[in-house]
Structure 1
Amino acid sequence: MERRESLPLTAVDYRKGDIKHQITGVVKPVMQGYKFQSVKEFKALLGLFHVTVEEVHKTIKGKTYHGLVYAATDEKGERTGVAIKSSKIGKSVGYEALQKKFAKSKQWIARHPVPVQTKEVIATALQGQPTRQGFLQELSGKGIAAILWQNDSGVIYGVTYIDHNSKTVFKGSLLGKEYSASVINRKYGTIPPEKTEEAPVIHPSEPEMKEPGLVEGLLDIFSPESYPYPADDLTQSPYGKKKKRKRRGPHLG
């Protein structure tokens, strides 16, 4: 994937132990220094440093509490080791702080368009690189990571760009249609057998599909201990392939 040289922080190595300290060394600088507008963008950014995050919502006596848990991932993006509650790291990386970060980032990005240089670098790589790997590597050498979101059939349905130069995370469609996931998919992905864009099917009665997470029935964030998580219960990488969405809607790219 993206080359290690483009990463300004040190990625977590679960083999070295002291996971809490390592995760703290990634999460705090990322929260302070980068701008991103959603959990998906936050996860994509953390994924570069072998960290993942999940939201936790729990109702106790009629009151709903919200929290975050962080965990290390291996080279394949599969979580490993112990999940760390955000409260163990500090309020600056907790749920409320993250929501405030989204709001501030949205305001900042609205006032500061993506740099022309960044758009030119992406356009040049997209036009000149015939392979996906070449595209990713060229951007990486320029300080930009491209996270391609695809379903099980290999169709790329979203792209997240992480510009380490401006420390900004943004979806491809923010740059314009010529940079979007549909363009990326035509060149580097799999063309779907049937085109459904003209008549999208929406099922309002069906619950929105959740991405595989750290906390699906396993974590009680409000207990005093963190819980170990076996890596074999992760079905998808936090920044690799994703399941097909049940309905069309706003997405990255």
Structure 2
Amino acid sequence: MVRGVVDSYKFTSIPELNAVLANYNVTDDRGHKGSTMFAKKGLLYWALDKNGNKAGIPIKASSLYGSPTLKKLEAKFEINRDRRKSYKELLRNSINRVMKTKASPAGFQQALTSKGIDVIFRKNEQGRLYGVTFIDHNTRSVFNGSDLGKAYSANALNQWFLQSKFTNEKNESTLLTSIFLIVQNLTKSNWICYMITKIILHFILSFMNILYVFSHPL
């Protein structure tokens, strides 16, 4: 499995490779900086449990089929930088189509997943986005957001998500007010009007979410 990923996916760093391997519950590890293994450019491959934690006994890279050692991977990084260039614009176009519609981080991921593209977000302890990686399984190319351009960097996407949230909340508030006024004229009761409005809005938003998912087929 490791050999299959290494041979077919176009990654340019260990983190990019690990982003793909995580789909198969595997990760590689160089050890801590300052350790003997790190200094000697050693590499271990670990199985991951359902929570993404290392489990079992690691296997040396040199013991695996094809020997995907760090030295071989570093040589592949350089080759892959050229191999993936022709697929950069295709990926940007796919992301741009999704970004025409405001979305939350989860909605953004879901829309791209439906197109065969995984999005991996990296967040700090405060929940702020500081890194993003895109895995295009259609072309088997892996890119960090910043490699695609400034507009796809973690910082730019973080701002876009905040703007999307503000826009969606504003639209929902406007819709709620409109429905409230219509129902109020019909019921002449503020309490009944409020409850009916909430129910109607819930169904409208649920229906809109369903339409959004079906409008982004594979």
Q: Which TM class, normalised by the smaller chain length?
A: 0.5 to 0.7
Identify if the C-alpha distance between structure 1 residues 120 and 106 changes in structure 2 by more than 3 Å, giving closer, same or farther. closer
1:156 aligns with 2:134: no
1:130 CA drift (Å): 2.0
2:22 maps to which of 47, 55, 77: 47
Q: How many corresponding residue pairs?
A: 158
Gaps of 5+ in 2: 163-218
TM-score (norm 1): 0.57
1:138 maps to which of 104, 111, 118: 111
Q: Which digits, 9 at most, give the CA deviation of each residue in 1:150-193, with x for residues without a partner?
A: 1111111111111111111011122222222112212447xxxx
| Partner residue in 2 for 1:177 | 150
1:126 aligns with 2:91: no
| Partner residue in 2 for 1:115 | 89
1:129 CA drift (Å): 4.4
Q: Which has the higher contact order (CA 8 A, sep 6+)?
A: 1
RMSD in angstroms over aligned alpha carbons? 2.0
1:39 CA drift (Å): 1.0
CA distance in 2, matches of 1:74, 1:184: 30
More helix by share: 2
- 1:107 maps to a residue whose letter is D
How do 1:165-244 and structure 2 match up within 5 A?
A: 165-188=138-161
SS, match of residue 24 in structure 2: coil
Gaps of 5+ in 1: 1-24, 190-253
| Partner residue in 2 for 1:82 | 57
SS, match of residue 106 in structure 1: helix
How do 1:6-45 and structure 2 match up within 5 A?
A: 25=1, 27-45=2-20
Q: List structure 1 segments (4+ residues) > 3 angstroms apart after TM superposition.
A: none
TM-score (norm 2): 0.66
CA distance in 2, matches of 1:49, 1:143: 16
CA distance in 2, matches of 1:70, 1:188: 35
Q: Percent identity?
A: 35
